[in-house]
Amino acid sequence: MTDHVPAELYARIQQFYARQMGLLDDGRPDEWADTFTEDAVFQEASRLNEPLRGREAIRESSRARKKRLDADKIDFRHWLGMLSVTPEDDGSLRARSYALAMRVPRGGELDVFASVVCHDHLVQVDGDWQVRRRDLHHDGSGRH
């Protein structure tokens, strides 16, 4: 096993994240949830006591988030960078990135809401990449 993936695959993973985060930021929670496997686990240690388990739990949480943002008239954006992608022996991938979550009340000023380290386990399902597990660690939490 090498510690990196070929450039073409790296570019595909960057495109996956651009699409995935775009779906979330564009208020399309159902399509965003479909980028996770049926049995996905979403752990945001500083915000959730228990991880979200399964695509449908992720979907419901995302729908509720969209409703809150719409009600509060807040635009939300994610910026991912410093992406590293490493292959696993079984063909899956491990991805690590930094993410900034930003919110802007309509007519207001930008607020960098959170800075996190994102650890994903990616698998191919019917030729597309999906997240099997996502672990988010907020800066300042002491976890990386």
CA distance to 61, 83, 88, 137, per residue, from 23 (Å): 15, 19, 27, 22
User: What are the structural domains, with CATH classification, of the chain?
Assistant: 7-138 (3.10.450.50)
Our CA dihedral for 124, 130, 131, 132, rounded to 10 degrees, sits at -50
Structure pTM?
0.92
Q: Nearest-5° angle of CA 124, CA 47, CA 35? A: 20
- What does the pLDDT average to over 19-30? 96
92 neighbors 114 (Cβ within 8 angstroms): no
**Whole-number pLDDT of residue 142:** 63
**Whole-number pLDDT of residue 3:** 85
Return the bridge partners of 96, or none: 84, 119
- What does the pLDDT average to over 119-142? 92
Mind listing the pLDDT tens digit for each residue in 92-117? Answer: 999 999 999 999 999 999 999 899 99
